[in-house]
Structure 1
């Protein structure tokens, strides 16, 4: 029975994660894409190409990239200099404040889940993704 409900549970969890994290990001005036850019840059400056490539799976269109970069630059959160994009002091503050909200949300989401259970859940989900992404029959066996 659990196998038949996993699709629903995953979709519902994803929906709730998206909604709650969007609320947390909006509290800091950020969109999901803004956050991804800021968080990537929190590790250090990147060339525009490196940054775009790192987040390529999230861009629906080239124009989206340009808009998000322009938004963050106009807000004074990032700066491009000598071929590298970096957080400004305001960008670092925005990242750090948002990171606190995101970390708290993640703790709340995992409340009551033992660390070992969480690790097992992540491993199991990664295995299932691998089974289905591999195109083989492994993901189909035993699920009916």
Structure 2
């Protein structure tokens, strides 16, 4: 099939697969996965109630998978949990900063050759498509 004839779903799925591979590759040295990065990055924004963390990342893995990742980060001493709230430790903040630089390189590669306006427009278009499908499914 000619690449221009592929539907949007193919491109979205392919990009997500490649993003998984690219992030997994740059965080592998820390024995992390993209899911670890997503949790670590979410926690870097501040303490989060566990249900909210799971809701935020629900599209990126099964609840059991995310619970395993959180437990792993706690086991590393990078996160702590108490009263249903998960937060980064000082070591977790340092790890986030270190891993963030590597993930930043992936993000720059993804946007290579795109102007800031093209990137922002692409995100806007994709967000509208998500809203359209959610509305059609009765989720909004």
- Band of TM-score, shorter chain: 0.7 to 0.9
Unaligned 5+ segments in structure 2 are none
Q: RCO greater where, 1 or 2, for CA within 8 Å and sep 6 or more? A: 1
Unaligned 5+ segments in structure 1 are 137-144
| Cα distance between partner residues in 1 of 2:114 and 2:120 | 10
Aligned length: 135
Larger radius of gyration between Structure 1 and Structure 2: 1
The aligned runs of 1:23-42 (5 Å cut-off) are 23-42=25-44
Matched residue SS, 1:85: strand
2:57 to 46, 50, 55: 55
TM-score w.r.t. the length of structure 1 is 0.77
**Higher helix proportion (structure 1 or 2):** 2
| Cα distance between partner residues in 2 of 1:127 and 1:3 | 21
Let me know the Cα RMSD of the aligned residues: 2.5
| Cα distance between partner residues in 2 of 1:48 and 1:10 | 28
Report the equivalent of 1:140. Answer: none
TM-score w.r.t. the length of structure 2 is 0.79
Displaced runs of 4+ in structure 1, greater than 6 A?
none
Cα offsets for 1:41-65 (capped at 9, x unmatched):
101122333323332333424x334
